[in-house]
Amino acid sequence: MKVIDNDDTTSTLTCEISHEEMLIIMAGMREICFGVDIHAFDTRLGYSKEQVSILVRQLRSILDEQGIEP
C-alpha cells in the first residue's frame, strides 16, 4: 500500500492498494460485521455496522467492476 495524495482541504486520502490488500481489508470488515458479535459496536469502532456494511459493498462493487475475484 502506498499513499499517492493527502488532501487536507477535502479530507481525501488517495492510496495505491494491491488486489490482495483490498481482499484482506474486506475480509476483516466482513468478519467484524457478520462473523462476531461485538457489544457496543458503534462505540468501539466509531462507526455503525451499517456504515461498515456499505463500505464493504462499495469495495466489492469496485472489485467486480475490475473483474477481480476473491
Indicate the SS3 state at residue 56.
helix
pTM of the full structure = 0.77
Domain ranges of the chain: 17-66
Query: Distance (Å, rounded) from C-alpha 32 to C-alpha 45?
Result: 10
Query: Distance (Å, rounded) from C-alpha 67 to C-alpha 59?
Result: 12
Nearest to 20 by CA among 64, 65, 63, 53: 63
pLDDT in tens, the chain (70 residues): 999 999 999 999 999 999 999 999 999 998 888 888 888 889 988 999 899 999 999 999 999 999 988 7
Q: For the chain, how big is the Rg over CA atoms in Å?
A: 14
Query: Distance (Å, rounded) from C-alpha 30 to C-alpha 24?
Result: 10
